[in-house]
Structure 1
Amino acid sequence: MAEETLRPPHAVDSLLSLLDQTAAVVEGDVTDLRSEYSPRTGPWTVVTLGDVRTHLGEAPGELRLKQVGGLLPDGRQLVVSHVPRFVRGARYVVFLRNTGWSLSPVLDEQAFRVESVGGREVLVGAEGGLVSGLGSAGVRQTAPVFETVDLTGARPALRAGVEAAVPEALGREAFVSLLQNHLRARGLSVTGAFREEPVVTASALSVSVTPASGQVPAKGLTPSQPERDIPPGRP
Protein backbone atom coordinates (compact mmCIF):
# COMPACT_ATOMS: atom_id res chain seq x y z
CA MET A 1 0.00 0.00 0.00
CA ALA A 2 1.47 3.36 -0.97
CA GLU A 3 2.01 5.66 1.95
CA GLU A 4 0.17 8.53 0.28
CA THR A 5 -3.02 6.43 0.17
CA LEU A 6 -2.97 5.67 3.89
CA ARG A 7 -5.62 7.20 6.08
CA PRO A 8 -4.09 9.62 8.58
CA PRO A 9 -4.79 8.79 12.23
CA HIS A 10 -6.93 11.05 14.37
CA ALA A 11 -7.78 11.33 18.04
CA VAL A 12 -9.61 8.42 19.65
CA ASP A 13 -12.10 10.34 21.77
CA SER A 14 -15.26 8.27 21.30
CA LEU A 15 -16.41 4.76 20.56
CA LEU A 16 -17.22 5.83 17.01
CA SER A 17 -13.70 7.18 16.41
CA LEU A 18 -12.26 3.97 17.89
CA LEU A 19 -14.24 1.72 15.57
CA ASP A 20 -13.64 4.01 12.59
CA GLN A 21 -9.87 3.47 12.93
CA THR A 22 -10.04 -0.28 13.58
CA ALA A 23 -8.92 -2.67 10.84
CA ALA A 24 -9.45 -5.80 12.94
CA VAL A 25 -10.13 -7.06 16.44
CA VAL A 26 -8.10 -10.18 17.12
CA GLU A 27 -7.00 -12.34 19.99
CA GLY A 28 -3.73 -14.22 20.23
CA ASP A 29 -0.96 -15.53 22.47
CA VAL A 30 2.24 -13.55 23.01
CA THR A 31 4.75 -16.12 21.79
CA ASP A 32 7.77 -13.81 21.56
CA LEU A 33 8.98 -10.42 22.81
CA ARG A 34 12.27 -9.10 21.47
CA SER A 35 14.13 -5.85 20.93
CA GLU A 36 15.47 -4.48 17.66
CA TYR A 37 17.81 -1.52 17.32
CA SER A 38 19.41 0.48 14.54
CA PRO A 39 21.15 3.89 14.72
CA ARG A 40 18.70 5.25 12.16
CA THR A 41 15.39 4.19 13.71
CA GLY A 42 16.35 3.62 17.35
CA PRO A 43 14.98 0.85 19.60
CA TRP A 44 11.82 -1.13 18.84
CA THR A 45 10.06 -3.95 20.64
CA VAL A 46 8.58 -6.65 18.43
CA VAL A 47 5.63 -8.58 19.86
CA THR A 48 4.64 -11.81 18.10
CA LEU A 49 1.06 -13.02 18.50
CA GLY A 50 0.43 -16.65 17.63
CA ASP A 51 -2.70 -18.79 17.42
CA VAL A 52 -4.53 -15.67 16.24
CA ARG A 53 -8.31 -15.70 16.13
CA THR A 54 -9.92 -12.85 14.21
CA HIS A 55 -13.23 -11.58 15.59
CA LEU A 56 -13.72 -8.53 13.35
CA GLY A 57 -12.02 -7.63 10.09
CA GLU A 58 -9.18 -9.67 8.60
CA ALA A 59 -5.76 -10.66 9.97
CA PRO A 60 -3.19 -13.42 9.41
CA GLY A 61 -2.76 -16.42 11.72
CA GLU A 62 0.40 -14.89 13.20
CA LEU A 63 0.96 -11.20 13.83
CA ARG A 64 4.13 -9.18 14.30
CA LEU A 65 3.46 -5.98 16.24
CA LYS A 66 6.40 -3.59 16.06
CA GLN A 67 6.30 -0.87 18.72
CA VAL A 68 8.69 1.99 19.38
CA GLY A 69 10.77 1.70 22.56
CA GLY A 70 13.01 -0.95 24.07
CA LEU A 71 16.64 -1.69 24.78
CA LEU A 72 19.42 0.73 23.85
CA PRO A 73 22.97 -0.49 23.09
CA ASP A 74 24.22 0.81 26.47
CA GLY A 75 21.70 -1.33 28.37
CA ARG A 76 19.20 1.41 29.12
CA GLN A 77 15.60 1.21 27.93
CA LEU A 78 13.60 3.79 26.01
CA VAL A 79 10.16 3.94 27.63
CA VAL A 80 7.38 5.44 25.52
CA SER A 81 3.93 6.53 26.64
CA HIS A 82 0.77 5.50 24.75
CA VAL A 83 2.37 2.19 23.73
CA PRO A 84 0.96 -0.95 25.41
CA ARG A 85 3.24 -3.38 27.23
CA PHE A 86 2.68 -7.07 26.66
CA VAL A 87 3.20 -10.08 28.93
CA ARG A 88 5.03 -13.03 27.40
CA GLY A 89 2.78 -16.10 27.28
CA ALA A 90 -0.43 -14.16 27.95
CA ARG A 91 -3.41 -14.06 25.60
CA TYR A 92 -4.73 -10.70 24.41
CA VAL A 93 -7.65 -9.14 22.60
CA VAL A 94 -6.18 -6.39 20.41
CA PHE A 95 -7.57 -3.60 18.21
CA LEU A 96 -5.38 -3.12 15.11
CA ARG A 97 -5.18 0.21 13.28
CA ASN A 98 -6.39 0.81 9.72
CA THR A 99 -4.41 4.06 9.54
CA GLY A 100 -0.78 5.00 9.15
CA TRP A 101 1.11 4.96 12.45
CA SER A 102 4.47 5.85 13.95
CA LEU A 103 4.40 4.43 17.51
CA SER A 104 2.37 1.21 17.46
CA PRO A 105 -0.09 -0.58 15.18
CA VAL A 106 -2.22 -1.20 18.29
CA LEU A 107 -4.96 1.42 18.35
CA ASP A 108 -4.76 3.76 21.35
CA GLU A 109 -3.49 1.11 23.80
CA GLN A 110 -6.53 -1.08 23.11
CA ALA A 111 -4.82 -4.37 24.03
CA PHE A 112 -6.64 -6.33 26.73
CA ARG A 113 -4.99 -9.22 28.59
CA VAL A 114 -6.98 -12.33 29.44
CA GLU A 115 -6.84 -13.09 33.17
CA SER A 116 -8.85 -14.92 35.81
CA VAL A 117 -10.18 -13.31 38.98
CA GLY A 118 -12.21 -15.31 41.47
CA GLY A 119 -12.43 -18.19 38.98
CA ARG A 120 -13.93 -15.95 36.31
CA GLU A 121 -12.35 -14.83 33.04
CA VAL A 122 -11.78 -11.08 32.70
CA LEU A 123 -10.03 -8.69 30.31
CA VAL A 124 -7.42 -6.33 31.75
CA GLY A 125 -6.53 -2.94 30.27
CA ALA A 126 -3.23 -1.05 30.20
CA GLU A 127 -3.77 0.55 33.62
CA GLY A 128 -4.92 -2.66 35.31
CA GLY A 129 -8.67 -2.05 35.15
CA LEU A 130 -11.18 -4.64 33.97
CA VAL A 131 -13.21 -4.22 30.79
CA SER A 132 -16.82 -3.67 31.85
CA GLY A 133 -18.65 -2.61 28.69
CA LEU A 134 -18.95 -0.04 25.93
CA GLY A 135 -19.91 3.61 26.24
CA SER A 136 -20.03 6.67 24.04
CA ALA A 137 -16.42 7.46 25.04
CA GLY A 138 -15.11 3.99 24.15
CA VAL A 139 -14.35 0.79 26.05
CA ARG A 140 -15.38 1.15 29.69
CA GLN A 141 -13.00 -0.09 32.38
CA THR A 142 -13.15 -0.37 36.15
CA ALA A 143 -10.68 1.14 38.59
CA PRO A 144 -7.32 -0.73 38.52
CA VAL A 145 -7.50 -4.28 39.88
CA PHE A 146 -4.09 -5.50 38.65
CA GLU A 147 -0.71 -3.81 38.85
CA THR A 148 0.57 -2.44 35.54
CA VAL A 149 2.93 -4.44 33.33
CA ASP A 150 6.57 -3.68 34.15
CA LEU A 151 9.47 -3.43 31.72
CA THR A 152 10.38 -7.12 32.08
CA GLY A 153 7.03 -8.25 30.69
CA ALA A 154 6.29 -10.32 33.79
CA ARG A 155 2.66 -11.08 34.59
CA PRO A 156 1.36 -8.41 37.01
CA ALA A 157 -0.06 -9.30 40.40
CA LEU A 158 -3.61 -8.79 41.53
CA ARG A 159 -3.79 -5.76 43.80
CA ALA A 160 -4.09 -6.32 47.53
CA GLY A 161 -7.64 -6.56 48.80
CA VAL A 162 -9.11 -7.78 45.51
CA GLU A 163 -10.60 -11.20 46.15
CA ALA A 164 -13.30 -11.56 43.53
CA ALA A 165 -14.03 -10.31 40.05
CA VAL A 166 -15.92 -7.06 39.72
CA PRO A 167 -19.50 -8.13 38.87
CA GLU A 168 -19.70 -6.13 35.64
CA ALA A 169 -16.34 -7.34 34.26
CA LEU A 170 -16.50 -9.03 30.84
CA GLY A 171 -14.60 -11.99 29.43
CA ARG A 172 -13.55 -12.43 25.80
CA GLU A 173 -16.73 -13.87 24.37
CA ALA A 174 -19.03 -11.42 26.14
CA PHE A 175 -16.91 -8.43 25.08
CA VAL A 176 -16.62 -9.51 21.45
CA SER A 177 -20.35 -10.27 21.32
CA LEU A 178 -21.07 -6.79 22.68
CA LEU A 179 -18.86 -5.24 19.99
CA GLN A 180 -20.48 -7.26 17.22
CA ASN A 181 -23.99 -6.41 18.40
CA HIS A 182 -23.10 -2.71 18.64
CA LEU A 183 -21.82 -2.66 15.06
CA ARG A 184 -24.75 -4.67 13.74
CA ALA A 185 -27.35 -2.48 15.44
CA ARG A 186 -25.86 0.64 13.85
CA GLY A 187 -25.12 -0.82 10.45
CA LEU A 188 -21.38 -0.35 10.95
CA SER A 189 -18.34 -2.51 10.26
CA VAL A 190 -14.59 -2.35 10.73
CA THR A 191 -12.77 -1.73 7.46
CA GLY A 192 -9.32 -1.18 6.02
CA ALA A 193 -6.05 -3.05 6.33
CA PHE A 194 -3.59 -3.48 9.18
CA ARG A 195 -0.15 -2.11 8.31
CA GLU A 196 2.82 -3.89 9.89
CA GLU A 197 5.42 -1.16 9.36
CA PRO A 198 5.36 2.48 10.56
CA VAL A 199 4.94 5.39 8.18
CA VAL A 200 7.66 7.45 9.86
CA THR A 201 10.15 6.68 12.59
CA ALA A 202 8.88 7.63 16.01
CA SER A 203 12.19 9.28 16.88
CA ALA A 204 11.03 12.23 14.79
CA LEU A 205 8.03 12.63 17.11
CA SER A 206 9.69 11.95 20.45
CA VAL A 207 10.31 14.70 22.97
CA SER A 208 12.46 14.15 26.04
CA VAL A 209 10.73 14.60 29.37
CA THR A 210 12.30 16.77 32.03
CA PRO A 211 11.56 15.28 35.49
CA ALA A 212 9.53 17.38 37.86
CA SER A 213 11.47 19.27 40.51
CA GLY A 214 12.96 16.87 43.01
CA GLN A 215 12.28 13.78 40.89
CA VAL A 216 14.95 11.61 39.32
CA PRO A 217 14.27 9.14 36.51
CA ALA A 218 14.67 5.48 37.42
CA LYS A 219 18.19 4.25 36.75
CA GLY A 220 18.57 2.72 33.32
CA LEU A 221 15.46 4.35 31.85
CA THR A 222 15.31 6.98 29.15
CA PRO A 223 11.83 8.52 29.36
CA SER A 224 10.12 9.75 26.24
CA GLN A 225 6.80 11.52 25.82
CA PRO A 226 5.99 11.21 22.12
CA GLU A 227 2.92 12.57 20.48
CA ARG A 228 0.14 10.06 19.94
CA ASP A 229 -0.28 8.70 16.42
CA ILE A 230 -1.91 11.94 15.29
CA PRO A 231 -0.59 14.19 12.51
CA PRO A 232 0.72 17.66 13.46
CA GLY A 233 -2.02 20.23 13.80
CA ARG A 234 -4.70 17.70 14.73
CA PRO A 235 -6.19 17.44 18.24
Structure 2
Amino acid sequence: MRVGRPWTTFGREGRAWLLLGLGLTGCSAATGDEAPARQESPLAAEASLRPPRAVDSLLSLLDQTASVVEGEVTDVRSEYSPRTGPWTVVTLGNVRAHLGAAPRELRLKQAGGLLPDGRQLVVSHVPRFVRGARYVVFLRNTGWSLSPVLDEHAFRVEPVGGREVLVGAEGGLVSGVGSAGVRQTAPVFETVDLMGARPALRAEAQARSAAPEGMEREAFLSLLQSHLRARGLTVAGAFREEPVTAASSLSVPVTPAVGATPVPGAVPLQPERDVPPGQP
Protein backbone atom coordinates (compact mmCIF):
# COMPACT_ATOMS: atom_id res chain seq x y z
CA MET A 1 0.00 0.00 0.00
CA ARG A 2 1.46 3.35 -1.03
CA VAL A 3 0.83 6.63 0.70
CA GLY A 4 3.25 8.75 -1.31
CA ARG A 5 6.88 9.28 -2.14
CA PRO A 6 9.59 8.87 0.47
CA TRP A 7 11.55 11.91 1.51
CA THR A 8 14.44 12.77 3.78
CA THR A 9 13.56 14.45 7.04
CA PHE A 10 15.98 16.45 9.17
CA GLY A 11 16.95 15.41 12.68
CA ARG A 12 14.71 12.59 13.81
CA GLU A 13 13.27 10.20 11.26
CA GLY A 14 9.55 10.60 10.71
CA ARG A 15 7.35 7.51 10.84
CA ALA A 16 3.67 7.20 10.11
CA TRP A 17 0.73 4.87 10.59
CA LEU A 18 -2.75 4.89 9.05
CA LEU A 19 -5.55 4.51 11.55
CA LEU A 20 -9.17 3.61 10.89
CA GLY A 21 -11.96 5.87 12.05
CA LEU A 22 -9.91 8.00 14.46
CA GLY A 23 -9.75 11.78 14.73
CA LEU A 24 -9.11 14.55 17.23
CA THR A 25 -12.09 15.77 19.21
CA GLY A 26 -13.59 18.73 17.44
CA CYS A 27 -11.50 18.24 14.33
CA SER A 28 -12.93 18.60 10.88
CA ALA A 29 -11.31 17.56 7.62
CA ALA A 30 -11.40 20.16 4.87
CA THR A 31 -11.19 18.44 1.50
CA GLY A 32 -11.52 19.64 -2.04
CA ASP A 33 -15.12 18.41 -2.18
CA GLU A 34 -16.28 19.73 1.19
CA ALA A 35 -14.42 23.00 1.64
CA PRO A 36 -15.14 26.21 -0.27
CA ALA A 37 -12.80 26.77 -3.17
CA ARG A 38 -9.71 28.72 -2.15
CA GLN A 39 -6.25 29.37 -3.47
CA GLU A 40 -3.69 27.19 -1.70
CA SER A 41 -0.93 29.25 -0.16
CA PRO A 42 2.41 28.64 -1.89
CA LEU A 43 4.97 26.62 0.03
CA ALA A 44 8.25 28.26 0.92
CA ALA A 45 11.12 27.80 -1.52
CA GLU A 46 13.41 25.18 -0.01
CA ALA A 47 16.62 26.68 -1.37
CA SER A 48 15.99 30.04 0.33
CA LEU A 49 15.61 28.60 3.83
CA ARG A 50 18.26 27.74 6.35
CA PRO A 51 18.23 23.93 6.74
CA PRO A 52 17.49 22.45 10.17
CA ARG A 53 19.99 20.30 12.03
CA ALA A 54 19.90 17.95 14.99
CA VAL A 55 19.05 19.42 18.38
CA ASP A 56 21.74 17.85 20.57
CA SER A 57 22.64 20.71 22.91
CA LEU A 58 21.24 23.89 24.40
CA LEU A 59 23.20 25.94 21.88
CA SER A 60 21.80 24.02 18.90
CA LEU A 61 18.31 24.44 20.37
CA LEU A 62 18.64 28.20 20.85
CA ASP A 63 20.36 28.64 17.49
CA GLN A 64 17.31 27.21 15.71
CA THR A 65 14.68 29.03 17.79
CA ALA A 66 12.82 31.98 16.28
CA SER A 67 10.72 32.54 19.38
CA VAL A 68 9.44 30.93 22.53
CA VAL A 69 5.74 31.59 22.90
CA GLU A 70 2.94 30.75 25.27
CA GLY A 71 -0.65 30.40 24.13
CA GLU A 72 -3.92 28.54 24.49
CA VAL A 73 -5.03 25.92 21.97
CA THR A 74 -8.26 27.37 20.63
CA ASP A 75 -8.72 25.08 17.63
CA VAL A 76 -7.40 21.79 16.23
CA ARG A 77 -8.51 20.78 12.76
CA SER A 78 -7.43 18.70 9.78
CA GLU A 79 -6.83 20.00 6.28
CA TYR A 80 -6.36 17.89 3.19
CA SER A 81 -5.42 18.50 -0.40
CA PRO A 82 -4.41 15.99 -3.10
CA ARG A 83 -1.17 17.95 -3.57
CA THR A 84 0.11 17.99 0.01
CA GLY A 85 -1.96 15.33 1.80
CA PRO A 86 -3.38 15.59 5.34
CA TRP A 87 -2.16 18.20 7.80
CA THR A 88 -3.32 19.07 11.30
CA VAL A 89 -3.59 22.79 11.99
CA VAL A 90 -3.33 23.89 15.63
CA THR A 91 -4.38 27.44 16.45
CA LEU A 92 -2.82 29.14 19.46
CA GLY A 93 -4.72 32.15 20.79
CA ASN A 94 -3.82 34.86 23.29
CA VAL A 95 -0.18 34.31 22.37
CA ARG A 96 2.54 35.88 24.46
CA ALA A 97 6.13 35.87 23.21
CA HIS A 98 8.60 35.21 26.03
CA LEU A 99 11.57 35.22 23.64
CA GLY A 100 11.53 36.70 20.15
CA ALA A 101 8.33 38.03 18.62
CA ALA A 102 4.98 36.53 17.65
CA PRO A 103 1.48 37.69 16.69
CA ARG A 104 -1.45 37.34 19.07
CA GLU A 105 -2.64 34.26 17.17
CA LEU A 106 -0.50 31.51 15.66
CA ARG A 107 -1.31 28.75 13.21
CA LEU A 108 0.87 25.64 13.60
CA LYS A 109 0.59 23.32 10.61
CA GLN A 110 1.86 19.79 11.23
CA ALA A 111 2.14 16.68 9.06
CA GLY A 112 -0.60 14.10 9.54
CA GLY A 113 -4.34 14.22 10.02
CA LEU A 114 -7.60 12.96 8.58
CA LEU A 115 -7.78 11.43 5.12
CA PRO A 116 -10.93 11.75 2.95
CA ASP A 117 -11.81 8.09 3.60
CA GLY A 118 -11.97 8.66 7.37
CA ARG A 119 -8.60 7.18 8.25
CA GLN A 120 -5.90 9.21 9.96
CA LEU A 121 -2.23 9.56 9.09
CA VAL A 122 -0.28 9.72 12.36
CA VAL A 123 3.33 10.91 12.23
CA SER A 124 5.69 10.19 15.10
CA HIS A 125 7.86 12.97 16.57
CA VAL A 126 5.13 15.51 15.81
CA PRO A 127 3.63 16.80 19.08
CA ARG A 128 -0.08 16.36 19.75
CA PHE A 129 -1.99 19.24 21.26
CA VAL A 130 -4.90 19.25 23.71
CA ARG A 131 -7.69 21.68 22.89
CA GLY A 132 -8.10 24.26 25.65
CA ALA A 133 -4.67 23.61 27.19
CA ARG A 134 -1.92 26.20 27.44
CA TYR A 135 1.47 25.49 25.92
CA VAL A 136 4.98 26.91 25.89
CA VAL A 137 6.28 26.30 22.36
CA PHE A 138 9.68 26.70 20.68
CA LEU A 139 9.18 27.81 17.06
CA ARG A 140 11.76 27.09 14.36
CA ASN A 141 13.73 29.76 12.51
CA THR A 142 14.70 27.17 9.86
CA GLY A 143 12.96 25.45 7.03
CA TRP A 144 10.87 22.48 8.15
CA SER A 145 8.96 19.55 6.74
CA LEU A 146 6.95 17.91 9.52
CA SER A 147 6.28 20.64 12.08
CA PRO A 148 7.31 24.23 12.83
CA VAL A 149 7.66 23.18 16.48
CA LEU A 150 11.35 22.67 17.21
CA ASP A 151 12.14 19.03 18.04
CA GLU A 152 8.89 18.38 19.98
CA HIS A 153 9.54 21.35 22.29
CA ALA A 154 5.87 22.01 22.97
CA PHE A 155 5.29 21.88 26.73
CA ARG A 156 1.79 21.69 28.18
CA VAL A 157 1.07 23.75 31.30
CA GLU A 158 -0.43 21.47 33.95
CA PRO A 159 -1.46 22.15 37.55
CA VAL A 160 0.17 19.51 39.74
CA GLY A 161 0.14 19.76 43.51
CA GLY A 162 -0.92 23.41 43.38
CA ARG A 163 1.92 24.35 41.00
CA GLU A 164 1.93 25.08 37.27
CA VAL A 165 4.52 22.72 35.78
CA LEU A 166 5.45 21.95 32.18
CA VAL A 167 4.84 18.55 30.60
CA GLY A 168 6.68 17.29 27.51
CA ALA A 169 5.40 15.31 24.54
CA GLU A 170 6.17 11.95 26.17
CA GLY A 171 4.55 12.86 29.50
CA GLY A 172 7.69 13.79 31.45
CA LEU A 173 8.00 16.95 33.53
CA VAL A 174 10.44 19.68 32.57
CA SER A 175 13.04 19.54 35.35
CA GLY A 176 15.71 21.99 34.25
CA VAL A 177 17.88 23.49 31.52
CA GLY A 178 21.52 22.57 30.99
CA SER A 179 24.22 22.41 28.33
CA ALA A 180 22.50 19.37 26.79
CA GLY A 181 19.20 21.24 26.47
CA VAL A 182 15.88 20.98 28.27
CA ARG A 183 15.89 18.20 30.88
CA GLN A 184 12.78 16.10 31.47
CA THR A 185 11.84 13.42 33.98
CA ALA A 186 10.61 9.95 33.17
CA PRO A 187 6.96 10.00 32.00
CA VAL A 188 4.61 11.15 34.72
CA PHE A 189 1.54 11.79 32.57
CA GLU A 190 0.10 9.51 29.93
CA THR A 191 0.79 10.72 26.38
CA VAL A 192 -1.85 12.66 24.50
CA ASP A 193 -4.09 10.17 22.73
CA LEU A 194 -5.33 10.45 19.15
CA MET A 195 -8.59 12.01 20.30
CA GLY A 196 -6.71 14.89 21.90
CA ALA A 197 -8.03 14.26 25.41
CA ARG A 198 -6.13 15.75 28.33
CA PRO A 199 -3.89 12.94 29.71
CA ALA A 200 -4.14 11.75 33.28
CA LEU A 201 -1.33 11.35 35.80
CA ARG A 202 0.08 7.85 35.80
CA ALA A 203 -0.84 5.79 38.84
CA GLU A 204 2.76 5.42 39.99
CA ALA A 205 3.27 9.18 39.70
CA GLN A 206 0.27 9.84 41.93
CA ALA A 207 1.65 7.47 44.52
CA ARG A 208 5.04 9.21 44.75
CA SER A 209 3.77 12.80 44.29
CA ALA A 210 5.64 13.89 41.17
CA ALA A 211 5.07 17.64 41.52
CA PRO A 212 8.38 18.50 43.26
CA GLU A 213 10.35 17.11 40.30
CA GLY A 214 8.88 19.54 37.78
CA MET A 215 9.80 23.17 37.23
CA GLU A 216 7.11 25.80 37.39
CA ARG A 217 6.41 27.59 34.14
CA GLU A 218 7.78 30.97 35.22
CA ALA A 219 10.91 29.42 36.74
CA PHE A 220 11.66 27.56 33.50
CA LEU A 221 11.26 30.68 31.36
CA SER A 222 13.41 32.71 33.75
CA LEU A 223 16.14 30.05 33.67
CA LEU A 224 16.06 29.95 29.89
CA GLN A 225 16.50 33.71 29.71
CA SER A 226 19.37 33.51 32.21
CA HIS A 227 21.18 30.99 29.98
CA LEU A 228 20.82 33.35 27.04
CA ARG A 229 22.16 36.32 28.97
CA ALA A 230 25.07 34.32 30.38
CA ARG A 231 26.12 33.33 26.86
CA GLY A 232 25.42 36.73 25.31
CA LEU A 233 22.88 35.17 22.95
CA THR A 234 19.46 36.07 21.63
CA VAL A 235 16.95 34.06 19.66
CA ALA A 236 16.62 35.36 16.10
CA GLY A 237 15.09 34.66 12.73
CA ALA A 238 11.54 34.30 11.50
CA PHE A 239 8.98 31.59 12.14
CA ARG A 240 7.46 30.27 8.91
CA GLU A 241 3.94 28.86 8.81
CA GLU A 242 4.45 26.81 5.65
CA PRO A 243 6.75 23.81 5.05
CA VAL A 244 9.41 23.67 2.37
CA THR A 245 8.48 23.12 -1.27
CA ALA A 246 9.22 19.39 -1.13
CA ALA A 247 6.90 18.85 1.83
CA SER A 248 3.97 16.51 1.54
CA SER A 249 2.56 14.60 4.47
CA LEU A 250 1.78 11.84 1.96
CA SER A 251 5.52 11.26 1.49
CA VAL A 252 6.47 10.44 5.08
CA PRO A 253 8.02 6.96 5.36
CA VAL A 254 5.34 4.62 6.67
CA THR A 255 7.33 1.61 7.84
CA PRO A 256 7.04 1.47 11.67
CA ALA A 257 10.32 1.76 13.55
CA VAL A 258 11.84 -1.48 14.81
CA GLY A 259 10.48 -2.28 18.24
CA ALA A 260 7.77 0.38 18.03
CA THR A 261 4.66 -0.24 20.08
CA PRO A 262 1.85 -1.37 17.74
CA VAL A 263 -0.92 1.20 17.35
CA PRO A 264 -4.42 -0.32 17.77
CA GLY A 265 -6.31 -0.24 14.49
CA ALA A 266 -3.25 0.54 12.40
CA VAL A 267 -3.20 -0.67 8.81
CA PRO A 268 0.03 -2.63 8.06
CA LEU A 269 2.03 -0.79 5.43
CA GLN A 270 4.89 -1.81 3.18
CA PRO A 271 8.09 0.22 2.68
CA GLU A 272 7.67 3.19 0.36
CA ARG A 273 8.57 3.15 -3.29
CA ASP A 274 9.64 6.30 -5.13
CA VAL A 275 6.63 6.66 -7.39
CA PRO A 276 5.69 9.97 -9.02
CA PRO A 277 2.33 11.40 -7.91
CA GLY A 278 -0.64 10.15 -9.89
CA GLN A 279 0.97 6.83 -10.79
CA PRO A 280 -0.01 3.49 -9.15
1:5, distance to aligned residue in structure 2 (A): 2.9
Alignment of 1:31-110 (within 5 A): 31-110=74-153
- Which residue is 2:219 aligned to? 174
Distance in 1 of aligned mates of 2:213 and 2:270: 35
Amino acid of the structure 1 residue aligned with 2:265: K
Instruction: Answer yes or no: is the 8 Å Cα contact 1:80–1:224 preserved in 2.
Output: no
Instruction: Answer yes or no: is the 8 Å Cα contact 1:92–1:113 preserved in 2.
Output: yes
Could you say what secondary structure the match of 2:226 adopts? helix
Instruction: Answer yes or no: is the 8 Å Cα contact 2:84–2:250 preserved in 1.
Output: no
Higher relative contact order (CA 8 A, sep 6+): 2
Distance in 2 of aligned mates of 1:117 and 1:225: 43
RMSD: 2.3
Count of aligned residue pairs for this structure pair: 225
Q: Which runs of 5+ in 1 are unaligned?
A: 227-235
Structure-2-length-normalised TM-score: 0.75
- Which residue is 1:21 aligned to? 64
Distance in 1 of aligned mates of 2:91 and 2:228: 28
Matched, 1:195 2:236: no
Distance in 1 of aligned mates of 2:270 and 2:123: 5
Instruction: Indicate how the Cα distance of structure 1 residues 216 and 194 shifts in structure 2: closer, same or farther if over 3 A, else same.
Output: closer
**1:18-54 deviations in Å (ceiling 9; x for gaps):** 1000000000000000000111111000000000010
Distance in 1 of aligned mates of 2:270 and 2:197: 22
- Which residue is 2:202 aligned to? 159
Instruction: Indicate how the Cα distance of structure 1 residues 41 and 11 shifts in structure 2: closer, same or farther if over 3 A, else same.
Output: same
**1:62-115 deviations in Å (ceiling 9; x for gaps):** 000000001111111101011000000000000000000010000000000000
Whose radius of gyration is greater, 1 or 2?
Answer: 2
1:204, distance to aligned residue in structure 2 (A): 6.8
Matched, 1:9 2:55: no
Instruction: Answer yes or no: is the 8 Å Cα contact 1:80–1:223 preserved in 2.
Output: no
Instruction: Indicate how the Cα distance of structure 1 residues 216 and 157 shifts in structure 2: closer, same or farther if over 3 A, else same.
Output: closer
Could you say what secondary structure the match of 1:161 adopts? helix
- Which residue is 1:141 aligned to? 184
Distance in 2 of aligned mates of 1:86 and 1:59: 19
Instruction: Answer yes or no: is the 8 Å Cα contact 1:29–1:89 preserved in 2.
Output: yes
Instruction: Indicate how the Cα distance of structure 1 residues 26 and 107 shifts in structure 2: closer, same or farther if over 3 A, else same.
Output: same
Instruction: Answer yes or no: is the 8 Å Cα contact 2:175–2:183 preserved in 1.
Output: yes
1:217, distance to aligned residue in structure 2 (A): 4.8
- Which residue is 1:206 aligned to? 252
Identical-residue share of aligned pairs (%) = 76
Amino acid of the structure 1 residue aligned with 2:58: L
Structure-1-length-normalised TM-score: 0.89
Could you say what secondary structure the match of 1:111 adopts? strand
Q: Which runs of 5+ in 2 are unaligned?
A: 1-43, 273-280
Q: Which runs of 4+ in 1 moved over 6 A?
A: 222-226
1:4, distance to aligned residue in structure 2 (A): 3.0
